[in-house]
Amino acid sequence: SQVFLNGDYMPMADAKISPMDRGFLFGDGIYEVIPCYDKKLVGFKPHIARLTDGLAALEIANPYTEQQWRDICLTLADQNPEPNLGIYLHVSRGTDSKRYHAYPDDIKPTVYAFTFEVPTPPVADISKAKAYKVALEQDLRWQHCNIKSTALLGNVMHFQQGYKKGLNETILYNQQDEITEASSSNVFIVEGNTIKTPPLDNQLLPGITRLLVLKVLRQFSEFDVQEVTFTKETLLAADEVWITSSTKEIAPVIEVGGHAIGDGTIGKVWLAAQALFSQYKFEE
Q: Which residues here bind ligand PMP, judged by CB under 6 A?
A: 33, 155, 181, 184-186, 205, 207-210, 244-246
Query: Minimal distance in Å, beta carbon 149 to ligand PMP?
Result: 10
For 180, phi then psi, to 5°, come to -105, -70
Query: Minimal distance in Å, beta carbon 106 to ligand PMP?
Result: 31
Q: Which amino acid type is present at position 109? A: P
Residue 18 or 247: which CB sits closer to ligand PMP? 247
Q: Is 130 a catalytic residue?
A: no
Torsion on CA atoms 215, 217, 218, 223, rounded to nearest 10 = -160
Contact by Cβ (8 Å): 5, 15 = yes
Contact by Cβ (8 Å): 153, 27 = yes
Query: Minimal distance in Å, beta carbon 198 to ligand PMP?
Result: 11
Query: Minimal distance in Å, beta carbon 167 to ligand PMP?
Result: 16
Catalytic residue among 39, 40, 148, 248: 148
Residue 148 or 232: which CB sits closer to ligand PMP? 148
Residue 49 or 107: which CB sits closer to ligand PMP? 49
For 215, phi then psi, to 5°, come to -65, -50
For 283, phi then psi, to 5°, come to -50, -40
Residue 96 or 181: which CB sits closer to ligand PMP? 181
**Residues with catalytic function:** 148
